[in-house]
Structure 1
Amino acid sequence: MVTLSDVAKEANVSKMTVSRVINHPEQVTKELRSLVEKAMKTLHYSPNSAARALAKNRTNVVKFIILENIDTTEPYYMNLLFGITQGLNRHQYALQLLTSVDEITKGNADGYIITGARSSDSEWLDKLDKPFVLFGENRYGYDYVDTDNKIGEQIATQYALNKNYQSIIFIGINEKEAFEYSREAGYINTLQSHNKVPKIFRLPNHSHSAQHFIDEHWKEFAHNTCFICASDRLATGVVRAIIAKGGEIPKDFGVIGFDGIFLDQVSHPKLTTVKQPIIKLGELLSDMLLQKISQSGAQQGELLIEPTLIKRDTTRN
């Protein structure tokens, strides 16, 4: 097995210099770094990730905290988890999955990725002593990665207008959170730019809630209406209700969801939806957190990724 001493001998430098190149490259000149890296390549030497972590006083562990009911959000979080893991694996970091705030301070970690945080969580978030980033927009100045929710619903609403639906209704999630406000803003701004009056209903994020709502208010919805929904869960409930009432999709009624993770494909007819790049978002969360850790907790800001509209059978061709 090739050792640190072997690399030092090959590069004609001290073991301390090799260690610095591996653990603190910013402290070594470009020339010395080049010499050591060449020797490592020649000898096929790979630094031990555990040893490097120890040298930097790190654990090489990131905790991922889900603050929502996983039973009602899968496979959404499975895709996010896959993306986060891919990002961490590139840097030899391990992932620990938590589902309770009480578990955060148990054991050691270099930082946290947190999803499902709400306004009421700001009090304990402010007390965390390790770097963290959020998945999801927030208005409290925390670093985050998310889909550009506003742009997503702008695209969806404009598409409904282009397909000549005369009435365009927004079915939102009854959460007073930044992501929902942004989705509503995308819908409202687009309609108002066409001199149309917005109409918004907010429901719990469950398909049966949307199905019950449409069933109860069916007589209020004229033909040539498109429902812009803040989630695929709501959209699938709207679709079921319209079909049960004898409405024709997409001729008389259109439905557009938001997420594009599994439910849009099992819906019948298949759902037109705003697709979030969840796996990519997971990778970006990992990248942002690891950069924040390497920069001693420096602020990273926000990163919004534009989603895409997937056109399927619940809207006109």
Structure 2
Amino acid sequence: MYGGEFMTTLLDVAKKANVSKMTVSRVINHPDKVTDELKQLVYEAMRELDYHPNVIAKALANNSTRIIKLCILEDIDTTEPYYMNLMIGIAKTLDLHQYSLQLVTRRNFDIGNCDGYIITGMRISDVDWIKDLKKPVVLFGENRYGFDFIDTNNKAGTYLLSQLALKKGYEKLIYVGIDSKESFEYSREAGYLQQVQEKRMVPELHRFGNHSHLSEDFIRQNWNKIPKNTAFICASDRLALGVERAIVRCGGKVPDEFGVTGFDGVFLNQVASPKITTIKQSIIQMGSACGETLLDKIQSGESQGSLVFEPKLSLGGTLRD
């Protein structure tokens, strides 16, 4: 109500903002297709007139819930802002389109209805039930099962890091990977292997659960077998943190005698000492892309394919200058 006398209409907002009714409608329903200047004009008029789009009525008419579920199928480390950044990116985009975000886990996945799903942490055992979902799905994380997805170019990232380590003069590269059958891990291994094979070097790969204490234990147990001038190409910053910690505790020098690289660039690379040279993933932007892709899929009813972000190198102090 405006002034307690009449119901504000779309036409009132258009007159106040000095734009057409169609422009107001476009700002409300498709804000991504309108300039920031126009949006600001319309939003300001809506605030002044206390106008609220009847999103609920529209949703009921279209049999829509205006809810998107984000399902995280792996353990969340509460010390890292990785998934918080992802949720911020998704929520910002959904908010622009008057959708709300609901976080769910495996156990409460089926409680309540929604218009679509964003899923991350998928394992091979999850493929069949995800394929059976009746609502549109977008995965955060690459896959080879035909699902639409958003991810970083994982292979290019580890290739870039391996190439950089060799340019810095390290003579041996050891890959420390995640013991997982997820596509992103295969791709990260592939980037390392491609660089090693191009240089006619002998590859050496070790895989662990994604916990720093496991990679730390491995280095400490095998310390006497690791030659100086070795660089460790790690599949995550968490594994890199464990490797770096073990080298220092065993009396090695980073980066003079040993190099270390990670992958993620969200938090742990910054708290390590020295800071880890890594691939920085644009998690907030990738979350936003997940939201946009899913909403486009809901609207069109068609597959949106994949969107791959190019890796960005974040230099720390774990490779020589």
Partner of 1:33: none
1:69 to 54, 70, 75: 75
Shift of 1:289: 0.5
Does 1:228 pair with 2:233? yes
RMSD of Structure 2 on Structure 1 (CA): 2.8
CA distance in 1, matches of 2:139, 2:79: 17
1:310 to 299, 314, 318: 314
* Matching of residues 46-195 of structure 1 within 5 Å: 47-71=53-77, 74-100=80-106, 102-195=107-200
Shift of 1:48: 2.5
**1:280 match: secondary structure:** helix
- Deviations along 1:2-52, one digit per CA (max 9) or x if unpaired, are 7586739x99xxxxx98xx77xx9xxxxxxxxxxxx9xx899766332233
CA distance in 2, matches of 1:173, 1:148: 17
CA distance in 2, matches of 1:266, 1:4: 53
1:73–1:56 distance in 2 versus 1, CA, 3 Å: farther
CA distance in 2, matches of 1:112, 1:156: 33
CA distance in 1, matches of 2:169, 2:10: 72
Preserved CA contact (<8 Å) 2:68 2:115: yes
2:215 to 204, 210, 232: 210
Shift of 1:79: 1.1
Tell me the TM-score normalized by structure 2.
0.85
CA distance in 2, matches of 1:96, 1:130: 15
Tell me the TM-score normalized by structure 1.
0.86
CA distance in 1, matches of 2:319, 2:10: 66
Letter in 1 for 2:174: I
- Deviations along 1:105-130, one digit per CA (max 9) or x if unpaired, are 22111001111111110121121111
Partner of 2:33: none
Shift of 1:56: 2.2
**2:263 match: secondary structure:** strand
**2:97 match: secondary structure:** coil
How many residue pairs were aligned?
A: 297
CA distance in 1, matches of 2:147, 2:183: 12
Percent identical: 50
CA distance in 1, matches of 2:226, 2:74: 33
CA distance in 1, matches of 2:108, 2:139: 17
Preserved CA contact (<8 Å) 2:277 2:316: yes
Letter in 1 for 2:304: Q
- Deviations along 1:222-279, one digit per CA (max 9) or x if unpaired, are 1111000000110000001000111011000000000111100111111111111111
**1:258 match: secondary structure:** coil
- Deviations along 1:156-198, one digit per CA (max 9) or x if unpaired, are 1111011010001110011112101000001111121122222
Q: Which runs of 5+ in 1 are unaligned?
A: 12-16, 26-37
Letter in 1 for 2:263: F
1:131–1:300 distance in 2 versus 1, CA, 3 Å: same
